[in-house]
Structure 1
Amino acid sequence: MDNSMCLKEFQQKVDNVLIRHRSALDILTKLQESNAKVNRAVAKSATYCGCTQLHIKKLEVPKDISFSEFRDYASDHIEGTPCEMCKEKIEQEISNNFFYLVALCNLLDIDMQKLLKDFYKNQLETLGKYGLL
């Protein structure tokens, strides 16, 4: 697979290879399961491997700042970067999750390329940071 493969091709390929889990319940539960595996892979990079550390704490944000300044006070709560082994596992789980998301779109006759294009135009460009509240 080269870098020029479009999302539409990927969506068609998913439709062609998905044989066993074609029902709505199968796809929904596999999507839920794969999402949990993404979360677990990220958590294991901190709890088992230790290549990352999660420092979860309440954000201390002054009350008198503008919405645009909020980013300066926000934190992703992660220190470090995943080692190669953890990164590979996280990527694998995200790929599986994406596969089932695309399968759900196929089931509902949703064009992923159009979906992302519309989201980009209507949410990211038009509403910008205010569209994701």
Structure 2
Amino acid sequence: MEQSSSRYEQTIRHQFDRICKMALKGEKVDYIRHMGYRQKNEVMLSELPEKELNQLSIMDEYKVENHYFQVLGYDIEVKDALIAEALQSLTEKKRNVILLSYFMEMSDADIAREMNLVRSTIHEHRKRSLEMLKQIMEGSTDEKKM
């Protein structure tokens, strides 16, 4: 009797062992299938091109942080504080030329018409203004480094 009981226990152990092996084999197949799906359909964020990555995020913008300039009836918004500060240091004519040229994307001829000036004068104002802005901004970035 003891022998049949130990034989029965051994059979039960073998059956349990077989069921565990079948379950693990099924899990392995499911895992391999799932990993194939992920490899085919998922992309790591670090592998995304920058253009697509930028589409996934939103940056809050608060109007309080921006600077506004009134130029010939246009309200021009400048988001960068350093640029706005540099623009403030220019004369009104030079600032208006820069704002209309770069922020409103107007040509020299259009600006000249709006400001009742000659196109070559606008060109000179823009050229000198850019040189002045460069000096001002380089000076302020040097101060920040110290």
Provide TM-score, normalisation by structure 1: 0.22
The structure that has the greater radius of gyration is 2
TM-score, structure 2 normalization: 0.21
